């Protein structure tokens, strides 16, 4: 079954372009501003958008995204607010894929089936749950699949071939390759080893592969796009949102997109 994610990557492939995937924290710095940021991303160059679900114990996040999550929580952001933000976004944009990213605890406490139902009603296309391993994902996927919600799988530098095969069995949408071992936004990957690893994964699957974690500059985006199907920028954008105006943050997204497109 094809959805917005598959359609976007197919369209990009036909145009011989790569995907710019941007991450923002839902509700950061407040719910109203976050909604404005979300609405501005597609026209600034974002092909797919990840929205963080704020959580009090973000084990995989570096200081920048952790701070964004705390700001969102302090602003009173809950999952229902994230769904409301996506619902509003869908009134004017029904084609840009939206992926929610975060931790399993808020989803579990919300109620897995209710979460999947409300995500579908809002217009969410996929979910990344960084602490849900393949061995324990069935209780989520059995509820997500009837609603067409893709569980986007993470692959890391330490994923061996046996585990990769297990991850790929139920993979859908695209694969998110974590470029560095560690938390978000702290260090950058060695480009040659990254290229070798991505090409190895490509030999095992036809799914698009997007690379994220530690990608901060337009130059890095351009380089990684030469061997991946998409590039994810999170911490660098979240930092711009925290320290600069909305217009300046969107100019940064435009610069990422411009470098990505001009490099191909």
Domain ranges of the chain: 4-258
pLDDT of the chain along its 264 residues, tens only?
A: 689 999 999 999 999 999 999 999 999 999 999 999 999 999 999 999 999 999 998 888 889 999 999 999 999 999 999 999 999 999 999 999 999 999 999 999 999 999 999 999 999 999 999 999 998 999 999 999 999 999 999 999 999 999 999 999 888 899 999 987 655 545 556 788 899 999 999 999 999 999 998 899 999 999 999 999 999 999 999 999 999 999 999 999 999 999 888 876
For residue 204, count other CB atoms closer than 10 A to its CB. Answer: 14
Helix (H) or strand (E) holding 13: helix 4-14
For residue 254, count other CB atoms closer than 10 A to its CB. Answer: 16
Full strand arrangement of the beta sheet holding 150-151: 150-151, 126-129, 98-102, 48-52, 19-25, 230-233, 209-212, 175-178, 153-155
Integer Rg of the chain from CA: 17
pLDDT value, residue 187:
52
Residue 201 CA neighbour count, 13 Å, CB half: 33
Instruction: Return the active site residues.
Output: 50, 61
CATH number of the structural domain 4-258: 3.20.20.70
From CA 183, how far away is CA 172, in angstroms rounded?
A: 24
pTM value surpassing 0.85: yes
From CA 18, how far away is CA 48, in angstroms rounded?
A: 11
pLDDT value, residue 61:
87
- List residues bridging with 176 in a β-sheet: 154, 210
Residue for token pair 């069935």 = 138
pLDDT value, residue 172:
86
The three-state (H, E, C) secondary structure of 148-205, written as one string: CCEECEEECCCCCHHHHHHHHHCCCCCEEEECCCCCCCCCCCCHHHHHHHHHHHHCCC
């Amino acid at each position: 079954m094809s959805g917005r994610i598959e359609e976007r990557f197919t369209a990009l492939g036909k145009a011989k372009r790569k995907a710019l995937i941007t991450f923002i924290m839902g509700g950061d710095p407040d719910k109203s501003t976050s909604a404005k940021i979300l609405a501005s991303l597609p026209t600034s160059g974002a092909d797919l958008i990840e929205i963080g679900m704020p959580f009090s114990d973000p084990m995989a996040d570096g200081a920048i995204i952790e701070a964004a999550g705390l700001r969102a929580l302090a602003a009173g952001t809950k999952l229902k607010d994230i769904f409301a933000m996506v619902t509003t976004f869908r009134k004017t944009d029904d084609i840009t894929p939206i992926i929610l990213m975060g931790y399993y605890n808020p989803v579990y406490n919300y109620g897995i089936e209710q979460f999947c139902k409300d995500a579908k009603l809002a217009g969410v296309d996929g979910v990344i749950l960084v602490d849900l391993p393949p061995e324990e994902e069935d209780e989520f996927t059995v509820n997500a699949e009837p609603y067409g919600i893709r569980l986007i799988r993470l692959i890391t530098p330490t994923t061996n071939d046996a585990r990769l095969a297990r991850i790929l069995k139920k993979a859908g949408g695209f694969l998110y390759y974590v470029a560095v071992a560690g938390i978000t936004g702290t260090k950058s990957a060695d480009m040659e080893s990254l290229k070798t690893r991505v090409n190895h994964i490509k030999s095992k699957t036809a799914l698009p592969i997007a690379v994220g974690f530690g990608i901060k500059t337009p130059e890095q985006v351009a380089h990684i796009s030469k061997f991946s199907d998409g590039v994810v920028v999170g911490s660098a954008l979240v930092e711009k949102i925290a320290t600069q105006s909305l217009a300046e943050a969107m100019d940064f997204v435009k610069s990422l997109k411009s470098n990505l497109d001009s490099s191909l």
